[in-house]
Amino acid sequence: MRLLKIIPDNTNIGFVRVRHIAFAITALLTVAALVLTVVRGLNLGVDFVGGVSIEEKFTTAPPLDEVRALVNGLGLGEAALQQLGGPNTITIRLPPPESSDPAAVDAMVEKVKAALAAKFPGASFSNYSTVSGKVSGELVQNGILAVLLAIIGIAIFSWFRYEWQFGVSTAVAIIHDVLMTIGFFALTQLVFDLNIVAAVLTIIGYSINDKMVIDDRIRENMRKFRKMGMRELIDLSVNETLPRTVMTSLTIMLALASLLIWGGHVLRGFASAMMLGIVVGTYSSVYVSSSLLITLGLKPGFREAKADASNAERVAPRDLP
Amino acid sequence: MLDFPRWKILSIAIGLALLVSLSIPSFVPKSVRETWPSWMPRPAVNLGLDLAGGSYLLLEAQTADVAKAKLNQMEEQVRAEMRRDPRIEIGDVSVQGGKLTFMVRDSAKVDAVRERLLAITGSGVGTTGQREWDVAVVDSSRFVLTPTDAGLQQSIDTAMNDAREVVDKRINGLGTLEPTVVREGGNRIVVQVPGLDDPTALKKLLGQTAQLEFRLVDTTADPQQVAQGIAPAGSVLMPYADGGGMIAVQRQVMITGGMLVNATQTYDPQSGAPGVTLQLDGAGSKRFAKVTQENSGKPFAIIVDNKVISAPRINEPILGGSAVINGGFTVQSANELAIALRSGKLPIALKVVQESTVSPELGADSIRAGITASIIAVVAVIAFMILTYGRFGLYATFAVVINVLVILGVMGLLNATLTLPGIAGFVLTIGTAVDANVLINERIREERRRGRSVMQAVELGYKEASRTIFEANVTHAIAGFIMLALGSGPVRGFAVVLLIGIATSVFTAVVFTRMLVTIWLRRNRPAEINI
């Protein structure tokens, strides 16, 4: 049986050569994502803004305008409607009630449920959640803190394990990945909630995995080919690991695609965030983080003495591909 | 490479078989599991509320109330202590700004007061021995008592633990639910009740402090003054629970909830109306008998959470220590009050700050969708791996399948909860688990291209790739731990699966596949491999 080879052997793509163009594109896209996030804002779920979210299932696709008019007519504040998982399910989001009395939320939910059931027979609610403003503030804080700490922790780890340049380039690439993902949510206006924070953290984890594999190869080659210029060395390392990078991205994409298609509407936002993150993370591994090492002035033979002592057997020359 | 000793193979096989067997309970229904002999594994993966349907409530306590209660309690204690013989006159007692202050009338007795305060302000907190109260004297005769941070913290802690227990008791009082009630952080309690899709009754029940009091009604009060909101001396005005105006009751409390032994929902023998029957303890019974004897013919008020439920007339002395509350109850509301009273008074009022309810149908939809997606993901990944790496891909897929089962087994062992994001974590783990094998197999391809022999290529492939796999997974785990530490709800559910997956996938992908490859190589000694 002839086996599948997605990436041919011995590729020799000049990734480093185009780094200035890649940097420019990356910077442009990142700025665009940032601007988009600031201008359009994120469609934050009740996890983050507080309020009430009611998911209602109708027997047939309901006219959105009528539902909106009906809910707005209840005097509970401006309702935000969103279709989820097919035309029959609608999520209605309302601002938190002005009174802090817990009964106020119940009254609100009851009112909406009753009004909808009266107008659209057969409609049934399938879930609802409420978050107070205070808790949502904490959730936002913790979410941001988690992402920042993850980036810092990982940067410190790769700084200790390798050179500081690896830490910096990895951190930069990850910040890029995170901003791009957030920009994607600003663009599509998909609901940004706690699940998405989990997705962003996972993207960081994956992206890191990707970069570590390439960084590890760069370090290995730096010991092996001491005379080689940094550009050739990085190109060689990225090319050597390219089949793995592409294979792994593809398998994860396969898994995520099945989640997106068959995983139900609750996971849709999560799966799409992850898929975008994989694309962005792979791009930044190949084009951004490794090329950035040159800009940061990484030179071969940095820790030569140490490498000699601990990895003497690995220094044996191998043929160039 | 070929020196994979038999004992190693055996121990890996046995170890994995044991871990995999741990996943079995998660696939069989609970009713079947309970009939198993005791030596068989029983712990199964719990389904989160988003999959099982149910309600999640986050309750928050107003910790400022604890400080206030602590000060009020201390005020009572100080008054009682100073009334003791020989009595020390104090005045100008006030509880304000988180402090208790009072003046000693005879400044010669300041030292005596200090002596007595020492006895009641506690011997210290916990093992650190920090004082519970700071006692200071200003202007040579004025005492200022301030609870220390450690003292306050201890009170809050105690109150929260008691509150958690009360909440637990109350939910269990509702019947066959299987709630989890856990403290979270300093002032929060998380309540999860699977299967409950209308939490209104539960919230009502938890919203009651259930502070019970019996007080005599002040029959001398002028109805006109009461209507104007003016209480006679020695009395206070309290509202009726049903909204029917105010009533004047005596300041002095006759019976408190602390004297209660039991409360049950019953029916009035005459009218058949639902009510609550209370059973008092010895001291309470004696007290109740005495007061009812002395006040025959007068009404007394039954008060719950500062609202008057009813004010029946005392027709005859009540000697048996049991009292019946009637007052426009339904069976349900009487039952709820009985549960609330039975489970004791909440030491601290709780407020719902976050709530989510998932209907069982949506939960069932989600789990079906999640399982479908997982199965399709596994099949797609397996096909892709075999197409790409042939025999080596097949070994990798064995590793992935075992990995999935081991994760389930470990989660069951830890009694971890599988949530919807957890399923996503699962699918992602499947994706990343093959990454380790992709790394190894690509490395073997590479070494073969460089002209190494089959044995050498395989050996080097595993060796070089293992280091990279380790580096990559450590960093991945850093992200996982941060999620676990900082995350809440879905983020945490995801992190648990991710971390378990990282640990198990390294083992199955590196050690287990290496064993399979070794066994095959040893048997066949191929000169060429298709990879």
Q: What string of DSSP letters covers B295-349?
A: TTTSBEEEEETTEEEE--B--S---SSEEEE-SS--HHHHHHHHHHHHT---SS-
CATH number of the domain to which A90 belongs: 3.30.70.3400
Using alpha carbons only, give the angle A126, A130, A132 rounded to the nearest 5 degrees: 175
Same domain, A87 and A58: yes
Q: For residue B448, give how far its alpha carbon lies from the nearest alpha carbon of chain A (Å).
A: 11
What is the distance between the alpha carbons of residues B87 and B80, in angstroms, rounded to a whole number?
10
- Can you read off the two tokens belonging to residue B158? 């105690």
Range with the lowest mean pLDDT among A117-131, A294-308, B145-159, B183-197? Answer: A294-308
Contacts of A239 in chain B (CB under 8 A): none
Task: State residue B127's pLDDT score.
Answer: 57
Name the domain count of chain B: 3
Residue B14 lies in a domain: yes
Yes or no, beta carbons of B50 and A150 under 8 Å apart: no
Cβ of residue A99 closer than 8 Å to a chain B Cβ: no
Same domain, A285 and A159: yes
Same domain, B215 and B292: yes
Same domain, A126 and A145: no
Q: Determine contact, residues B101/B144, Cβ cutoff 8 Å.
A: yes
Yes or no, beta carbons of A157 and B475 under 8 Å apart: yes
Q: For residue A178, give how far its alpha carbon lies from the nearest alpha carbon of chain B (Å).
A: 14
Q: What is the DSSP letter of B525?
A: -
Cβ of residue B62 closer than 8 Å to a chain A Cβ: no
> What ipTM describes this predicted complex?
0.79
Yes or no, beta carbons of B369 and A258 under 8 Å apart: no
Residue B345 lies in a domain: no
SS3 of residue B213 by DSSP: strand
Same domain, B324 and B374: no
CA distances from A221 to A231, B109, B139, B441, B465 (A): 12, 85, 79, 19, 14
What length is written for chain A? 321
CATH number of the domain to which A153 belongs: 1.20.1640.10
Yes or no, beta carbons of A195 and B372 under 8 Å apart: no
- Partner residue facing B377 (CB), from A142, A149, A259: A259
Name the domain count of chain A: 2
Cβ of residue B479 closer than 8 Å to a chain A Cβ: yes
Q: Quick one: how far is CA B307 from the chain centroid?
A: 29
Yes or no, beta carbons of A263 and B373 under 8 Å apart: yes
Residue A314 lies in a domain: no
Segment B45-89, tens digit of pLDDT = 888 887 888 888 888 888 888 888 888 888 888 888 888 888 888
Which residue in A110, A202, A238 has the most chain B C-beta atoms within 10 A of its own C-beta, making it the best mutation to test that interface?
A202
SS3 of residue B235 by DSSP: strand
Q: For residue A141, give how far its alpha carbon lies from the nearest alpha carbon of chain B (Å).
A: 10
Cβ of residue B472 closer than 8 Å to a chain A Cβ: yes
Q: For residue B360, give how far its alpha carbon lies from the nearest alpha carbon of chain A (Å).
A: 8
> Omega before B86 cis (within 30°)?
yes
Residue A198 lies in a domain: yes
- Partner residue facing A202 (CB), from B370, B428, B464: B428
Residue A309 lies in a domain: no
Cβ of residue A201 closer than 8 Å to a chain B Cβ: yes
Chain A, residues 106-125, CB within 8 A of chain B, namely 106, 124-125
Q: For residue A111, give how far its alpha carbon lies from the nearest alpha carbon of chain B (Å).
A: 14
Task: Count CA atoms within 13 Å of residue A231 on its CB side.
Answer: 8
The residue from B147, B162, B187 where one domain ends is B147
Contacts of A261 in chain B (CB under 8 A): 373
Residue A161 lies in a domain: yes
* Tens of pLDDT, residue by residue, chain A (321 residues): 677 787 787 788 888 888 899 999 999 999 999 999 999 988 888 878 888 888 888 888 778 888 888 888 887 777 888 776 667 788 888 887 776 666 677 778 888 888 888 888 877 777 778 877 777 888 788 888 888 888 888 888 888 877 888 889 988 999 999 999 999 999 988 888 877 887 887 788 788 888 889 988 998 898 888 888 888 999 999 999 999 999 999 988 988 898 889 888 777 888 888 899 999 999 999 998 888 988 888 876 555 444 444 444 444 444 444
- Residue B377: which of B422, B416, B424 has the closest Cα? B424
Same domain, B41 and B71: no
DSSP codes of every residue in B42-84: ---PEEPHHHH-EEEEEEEE-HHHHHHHHHHHHHHHHHHHHHS
Segment B207-253, tens digit of pLDDT = 777 888 889 998 888 888 888 888 888 788 898 887 778 889 988 88
Residue A74 lies in a domain: yes
Contacts of B421 in chain A (CB under 8 A): 195, 198, 267, 270
As a three-state string, the secondary structure of B80-139 is HHHHCCCCCCEEEEEEECCEEEEEECCHHHHHHHHHHHHHHCCCCECCCCECCEEEEEEC
Contacts of B384 in chain A (CB under 8 A): 250-251, 254
Same domain, A126 and A235: no
CATH number of the domain to which B311 belongs: 3.30.1360.200
Same domain, B221 and B140: no
CA distances from B328 to B89, B213, B246, B262, B334 (A): 48, 18, 17, 21, 9
What is the distance between the alpha carbons of residues A233 and B454, in angstroms, rounded to a whole number?
27
Same domain, A82 and A69: yes
Range of the domain at A212: 15-42+136-296
Range of the domain at B512: 6-50+360-524
What is the distance between the alpha carbons of residues B300 and B316, in angstroms, rounded to a whole number?
12
The residue from B118, B147, B176 where one domain ends is B147
Which residue in B189, B459, B491 has the most chain A C-beta atoms within 10 A of its own C-beta, making it the best mutation to test that interface?
B491
Yes or no, beta carbons of A105 and B352 under 8 Å apart: yes
Chain B, residues 442-461, CB within 8 A of chain A, namely 442, 445-446, 449-451
Q: Name the closest residue on chain A to residue B383, using Cα atoms.
A: A251
As a three-state string, the secondary structure of B161-210 is HHHHHHHHHHHHHCCCCCCEEEEECCCEEEEEEECCCCCHHHHHHHHCCC
Q: For residue A249, give how far its alpha carbon lies from the nearest alpha carbon of chain B (Å).
A: 8
Residue B182 lies in a domain: no
Chain A, residues 46-85, CB within 8 A of chain B, namely 55
Using alpha carbons only, give the angle A294, A300, A303 rounded to the nearest 5 degrees: 120
Contacts of B498 in chain A (CB under 8 A): 202, 205
CB pairs under 8 A between A and B: 242
Same domain, B243 and B329: yes
Same domain, A82 and A106: yes
Q: Name the closest residue on chain A to residue B199, using Cα atoms.
A: A106
Same domain, B313 and B438: no
Same domain, A110 and A182: no
Residue A260 lies in a domain: yes
Segment B356-413, tens digit of pLDDT = 888 877 778 888 888 888 888 888 888 999 999 999 999 998 998 898 889 888 888 8
- Partner residue facing A150 (CB), from B352, B380, B479: B479
pTM: 0.72
Amino acid at B395: Y
Packing angle of the helix pair B454-486, A133-161 (nearest 10 deg): 150
Residue B180 lies in a domain: no
Q: Name the closest residue on chain B to residue A134, using Cα atoms.
A: B353
Yes or no, beta carbons of A194 and B490 under 8 Å apart: yes
Q: Name the closest residue on chain B to residue A217, using Cα atoms.
A: B468
Beta bridge partners, B142, equal: B103, B138
The residue from A131, A159, A189 where one domain ends is A131
Same domain, A140 and A280: yes
